Every structure is written in structure tokens, then in C-alpha cells.
Chain A
Amino acid sequence: MQTPAGHEIVDGQFHARNWLEIIFNPSFPYRFVHMMLASALTCAFLLIGISAWQILRGVATDSASRVLRTGLIFAALAAPAQILAGDLHGLNTLKHQPQKIAAMEGVWETTRGAPLVLFAIPDDAARSNRFELAIPKLASLILRHDPDGEIKGLNEFPSAHPPVFPVFWCFRIMVGIGILMLLVSWIGLWRHWRDGWDFARMPRPMLKLFAAMTFAGWVATIAGWYVTEIGRQPFIVFGLIRTSDVASRVPSSSVALTLSIYIAVYLALLVAYVGVLKYMSETADKGGAPLITEGATAGPQKHQRQGEFA
């Protein structure tokens, strides 16, 4: 749907011509690697966050330190790999879907030496960015590996480019979290090494930062998913079929109803999930001996809930 290949259109219908081409379409390797690394980072930060939370709450067993260390090493390796893979994926997207890149970077007019926009409110009506804060020539450097490289602007694609605001901001959320992940994992690991591989000596703000990033991977993954899927609009199959041409005959009121039901159910389940995860992490110490307790928690209530968990 992003970079369709291996098909032929007969009488307005798509037919598969070559399954290998369909699967191994031009963006497949980039998407695959990018997604796998995203999953790895999501998992690593889940491990990091929960173990840090356990240490903070004084319910950690000796396994928590090992899990935290594993997560940190895992993240420290995956984060730079992900940034590299993301860059390659971006170049691939520039080749096949230049309007998506233009929306991600907030570039309206085709420019040589395009600046990297750090902050802006893209305005679809005025076709320009408001409150722009940018680093000169950096976008061209990143995307063309040349400070004066040309980036095609959105105005080159009249009525065939995605809505700019969500793509622009989701991209910044994803990249921001990615860079944060790199910093947190590297600084965390460095600090851990300086502490003699002992998390009891790790500064509490650092552990709190770890805990705060428990679900960062999910946020980044979903933001990235929005970038690529909203960025494909207005097409459902890029360049070939518009989404509006294949919309369902189901009345829009039904679609609105089910969408709100799904949102409500998933929000409720999300709350329940986080609650259960928190409860599990705080009661997981049955059977294991606590390793880090002194000074880490105020109350001695750590074993109270033992036995409820079965």
C-alpha cells in the first residue's frame, strides 16, 4: 500500500502478478528492520521502566537489577541502530513518497538547502508554517547528504499530499523519543558503570526517568505508525487509489459509533493494563529475597500482598 509492486490492473481490478515482488516491495526491508528495532526498543524500555519502578518502590528482587541491566544494554545497542535504520528508511521514503517527507519536514516550497524545522505550527490554509524555529540547511544535509540538496515542497503536489500537522508532529514525537531513548540508555549505562554495576547507588532521579519511560516505546511506535499511515493519505494504495474512492458503504454514523466504542474500550483496557502491570510489578517479589530495600522506600509493606497473587 505504501510502495505497491508486483501487481497489474485489469479492468480496474488489482491482480497479483508476482508474490515475491509484492512482499519484497521497495520499502519492505526498511519497514521491516525499522519495526523490528522499534519492538526491541519498546520491550527494552518496558523492562527498564518496570525494574526501575521496583527498585524505587523497594520491592525489587535481585532479578530486577539483572533485568534493568539487560534492558539498558539492549536499548543502548538498539537505539543507535534504530536511528540509522530510520535515516535509511527516510531516504527510501524520499525516493518513493516525497510528499510524505515534505509533510514530515514541513517544507511547503521546493527549496535548496532546506532548514530542519524544530518547531512550527503548520497551517494547511495559509500553506506555510507559523512560529517556525529551524536550523538552516540541516534537512537537506540529512536527506540529501548535501547542505544545498533540493527537497521537494508540498506545493508540488496539489491536492495529493497528506494533512501536514499530524504527520509533522507525530514525526517529531517519534524522533524526539528515539533520541531520548538513545541518551537515556547511554547515560544510564555509563552511570551504572560508574556506580560499579550497582543500582542501589544509581541516583533516584535517574531511576525515576527510567520509570517514566516505561511506555515510551509504545508512544514512539504509534506516533511512527501515524506518520507513515497518515503520510500516505490521500491514497489508500499510494499513487493509485484514493481512500475516498474505496470508503465503505457502511453509514458514517455506524462507523462513528464503533470507533467511539473501540476508543472507550481500549482506553478502559489501557488503564486496567497499566494498573495490573503496576500491581504485578509491586507484588512480584514472592519467593525471591529483596536485594535493594534500604532507603529506597518509606514503608515496610512490601510483603503484605504476598499470596494474593496466584
Chain B
Amino acid sequence: MISMSFDELLPLIFIGLMGVSLLVYVVSDGYDLGVGMLMHRATPEERDTMVASIGPFWDANETWLVLGVGLLLIAFPKAHGLVLSELYLPTALMLVGLILRGAAFDFRVKGKANRKAKWDRLFIAGSMLASLCQGWMLGRYISGFGEGWNYPIFAGAIAVALPMAYALLGATWLVMKTEGELQDKAIEWSKIAWPPMVVGLILISMATPWISETVRVRWFTLPAMIAVVSIPITTGCASGGAPVAGVAGRTRQPVLAALRIAGARLLPELPRSQLQHLSVRGDRQAYRLASRQQPRGAQNHPDRCLRHVACHYRLYRIFLSRIPGQDHRVGLCLSGRPQWPTLPGSCWFTR
């Protein structure tokens, strides 16, 4: 590394920049695409709130995609030609989705009031189309644009999983940004979106070593294996309902790491800040206060750490609650009210 020349270093710098911009894109535009998709489950009034919550951000969020593709073109023109030729149709459809979405975003409030619902539908459809296409592109990209019956199925699965991940991000964004009924709904939405996203993550984790020689070597050769072995284990734990992930407080690891391996695409920030929302009906007030009022430097404030512990403990309880007859030891719960099993219509892990 030390003796690396500038010419050798430059591609690394650019791949790093591209990774950063795509990462930021997925996280930032992910939540506003997610909010867009979730609007079909909301009332007209709630839709206004939801749009207002992403209003100042969405445009800037999409710019990260422009930066990422621009870097690809400038720094790796051959890869740009190859990748975007392969993904020509989904890219075009994604752009149509983003165009419709952007137009609907403005026209819904500026056009005639009786057309607002129509624009909202277009906004939702555009968000869905863009997310689906991105999922398909990710699936095709990860699987090396392979030919055969199984490849489209894989890409199709990712095309569903990525929008679910976006929906989860969007829902947790709404948990953070809204109050009352909409916030309750957002918690429900996030729980619905979680399982398919986890399935998508597992698929990606399995597919990557299958496809890529480099990754396979890294994954199944000592000593590198020790470093990455936690990835499938923790991912498996999180999705399979084993309490290990929750107890160890390492729920961030599976997603982050699986993502890094999978091309650093999907939801890196998910668990610490997001998964806790799945489990924090009780202390969501505390979270809101913390996230709104804490100064920047106070990220590692003891209260916050404590809260994370509490959250992970709750997650642990959720996993436990799937096992019949096992009681929840509510007393240990820091902020009190154990409301999980009573949530109506929640997804699999509360039943």
C-alpha cells in the first residue's frame, strides 16, 4: 500500500467515491422513495404530512445517483458502457419513474385540487417503478448479468426486496418525523417491510460468493473467513428468529456487512437507528427527544447507549415471543410498557 503509485491509487479513490455516493443515495433516496411507496396506505391528510416530511430533502437525495453514475462514466468509462448497456431498459424505466415522481411532487399541490389524488397515484407509481427497477438492476448487477432461468428469478426477488428495504427506511423515517396515528401506522409498515428485506439480504449474501470468485475466496479461506464468518451467521440469526443477534446487540453487523460484500448497496445504516424503531413503541418518545434535541457531539451520551441496549433487549424479546409459552420478563424493560404482543395486525415475529 505504501509503495502504491498515484496511478494505482486513483482507481481506488474513485471506487471509494462511487461507493460513498451510491451508499448515500440508497440510504437517503431510499427513505423518500419508501415514503412515496407507503403513501398508498395513507389517508389524503397523512399524504400531505408524508410529502412535507421529505419535501426539503428528496431532490438533493436523488442528486447522489447523478454523482454516482457521473463518476462511473468519468472514472470507469468501459464499465459504464457495459453496465448501462446491460441495464438499458430498467434504467430507462427507472428514469421514467423518477420523472413522474418529480413532476407529481410539484403538480399535486400546484394543480387543481380535484386532481391531487391523481397526482398522488402517479407519485406512488413513480416511486414504486423507480424502486423496482433499482432492485432489478441490483439483482442483475450482483449476479453478473448471467444467462439462465435462475438469474431472472433472483433479480426478481431482489426487485421486490429492495423496495421493501426502501419502505422500511421510509417507515422508520416517518416514525422519526411524525406523531400520533401516522407514527403508529409507520411502525406497522416497518414491521411488514422487514421480513422480505431480510430475505433479500440473505439472497444477496448467498449469491455473491456463488458468482464472484474473489468473494468466494475471501469467504471460504482462512484467515479472512474469520473476519467475515459473522456475516451469514448474524444475518441468519436476525432473519431466522434466533435471539443471538438481539442479545449480542450486533444487529447492525449482518446488514452492514452483507451489504458491503454485496456491493455496498442496501441499507447500511439500517439496524442501529432503524431496527430499534421496530421494537420501540414504548420508548419512541425518548428516541424522538434524543434524536431531535441532542446536540451533534452527544451521540455517545450514556443515555443513548442505554437506550440502544434497551432497544436490542426489546428485539430479543420479540424473537423470544415467537416461542410459545415463553414469558417476557417485562421488568427489565427500561421504559416500561410491554405492548408488543398486543399490537394488532403485526407481522410474523409478534404472533
**B113: Cβ under 8 A from any A Cβ:** yes
**How close is B275's CB to chain A, nearest CB, in angstroms?**
37
* A residues in contact with B296, CB < 8 Å: none
Main secondary structure of the interface of B (DSSP, over half): helix
Partner of A276, one of B96, B99, B111, B113: B111
Q: Which residue of chain B lies nearest to A248 when distances are taken between CB atoms in the complex?
A: B85
CA distance A248 to B89 in the complex (A): 13
Segment of B102-110, B164-172, B235-243 in the binding face: B102-110
Nearest-CB residue, chain A, relative to B112: A279
**Chain B CB within 8 A of A203 CB:** no
Contact flags (1/0) for A232-250 with B, using CB distance below 8 Å? 0000000000000000111
Task: Confirm or deny: B88 has a beta carbon within 8 angstroms of a beta carbon on chain A.
Answer: yes
Instruction: Output the nearest chain B residue to A272 by Cβ-Cβ distance.
Output: B107
A279: B residues at CB distance < 8 A: 110-112
Which of B99, B107, B112 is the one whose CB lies under 8 Å from A265?
Answer: B99
Choose one: A249, A254, A262, A310; the contact of B96 (CB below 8 Å): A262
Given contacts A272-B111, A276-B111, contact A258 B89 (CB under 8 A): yes
When A276-B111, A310-B109 are in contact, do A269 and B99 touch as well, CB less than 8 Å? yes
* Contact among A250, A262, A269, A272 for B88, CB-based, below 8 A: A250
Q: Is A275 an interface residue (CB 8 A)?
A: yes
Residues of A close to B110: CB separation below 8 A? 276, 279-280, 309
Rounded to whole Å, the gap between the CB of A65 and the closest CB of chain B is 23
Q: When the two chains form their complex, are residues B113 and A258 in contact, meaning their CB atoms are under 8 A apart?
A: no
Docked CA distance A293–B41 (Å): 45
In the complex, A250 Cα to B113 Cα: how many Å?
42
What distance in Å separates the Cβ of B309 from its nearest Cβ neighbour in chain A?
Answer: 45
Q: Please, how many angstroms separate the alpha-carbon atoms of A42 and B166 in the complex?
A: 39
Q: How far apart are B47's CB and chain A's nearest CB, in angstroms?
A: 14
Among A257, A265, A272, A308, max chain B CB count under 10 A is at A272
Smallest Cβ distance from A3 to chain B, in angstroms?
A: 21
Within 8 A of B (CB), among A222-274: 248-250, 254, 257-258, 261-262, 265, 269, 272-273
B residues near A308, Cβ cutoff 8 Å: 112-113
Cα separation A134 to B88 with both chains bound (whole Å): 47
B100 on the A face (CB < 8 A)? yes
When distances are taken between beta carbons in the complex, the residues of chain B under 8 Å from A269 are 99, 103
CA distance A117 to B301 in the complex (A): 78
Number of B residues near A (Cβ < 8 Å) is 15
State A254–B90 Cα separation when bound (angstroms).
Answer: 11
Q: Is the CB of A261 within 8 A of B107?
A: no
Could you mark each residue 288-331 of chain B with 1 if its beta carbon is under 8 Å from any beta carbon of chain A, else 0? 00000000000000000000000000000000000000000000
Minimum CB–CB distance from A7 to chain B (whole Å) comes to 14
| B77 CB to nearest chain A CB (Å) | 10
Which residues of A lie under 8 Å from residue B99 when comparing CB positions?
265, 269
Bound-state CA distance A124–B100 (Å) is: 40
CA distance A308 to B114 in the complex (A): 9
A35 to chain B, nearest CB (A): 21
Determine if B92 is an interface residue (Cβ-Cβ < 8 Å).
yes
Contact between B111 and A249 (Cβ–Cβ < 8 Å)?
no
Is the CB–CB distance between B96 and A250 below 8 Å?
Answer: no
Asked if B107 and A254 sit within 8 Å, CB to CB, the answer is: no
Q: Is the CB of B92 within 8 A of A261?
A: yes
Contacts of B93 in A (CB 8 A): 261
B99 to chain A, nearest CB (A): 6
Task: Report the Cα distance A309→B93, complex, angstroms.
Answer: 32
Bound-state Cα–Cα, A157 to B249, Å: 73
The answer to whether A272 touches B109, judged by C-beta atoms less than 8 angstroms apart, is no
A57 to chain B minimum Cβ distance, whole angstroms, is 16
Determine the distance from Cα of A248 to Cα of B107 in the docked complex, in whole angstroms.
35
What B residues does A280 contact at CB under 8 A? 110
- Given A269-B99, A269-B103, A258 and B111 contact (CB-CB distance below 8 Å): no
Select from chain A the residue with minimum beta-carbon distance to B119.
A272
Contact B96 A265 (CB under 8 A): yes
B107 touching A276 by the CB < 8 A rule? yes
Contact B103 A250 (CB under 8 A): no
Complex contact A265–B100 (CB within 8 A): yes
Neighbouring B residues of A310 by C-beta, 8 Å: 109
Q: How far is the CB of B208 from chain A (nearest CB, A)?
A: 27
Within B62-117, the residues touching A (CB, 8 Å) are 85, 88-89, 92-93, 96, 99-100, 103, 107, 109-113
Smallest Cβ-Cβ distance to A283: which chain B residue? B112
A259 to chain B, nearest CB (A): 9
Closest B-chain residue to A255, C-beta based? B88
Chain A residues with CB under 8 A of B111: 272, 275-276, 279
Q: What residues on B are CB-neighbors of A275 within 8 Å?
A: 111
Residues of B near A249 (CB, < 8 A) are: 85
Tell me the A residues contacting B by CB distance below 8 Å. Answer: 248-250, 254, 257-258, 261-262, 265, 269, 272-273, 275-276, 279-280, 308-310
Q: What would be 9 A-B contacts, judged by CB atoms less than 8 Å apart?
A: A248-B88, A250-B88, A262-B92, A265-B96, A265-B100, A273-B103, A275-B111, A308-B112, A310-B109
Which 10 A-B residue pairings sit nearest by Cβ, starting from the closest?
Answer: A258-B92, A308-B113, A276-B111, A250-B88, A269-B103, A276-B107, A276-B110, A249-B85, A250-B85, A254-B88
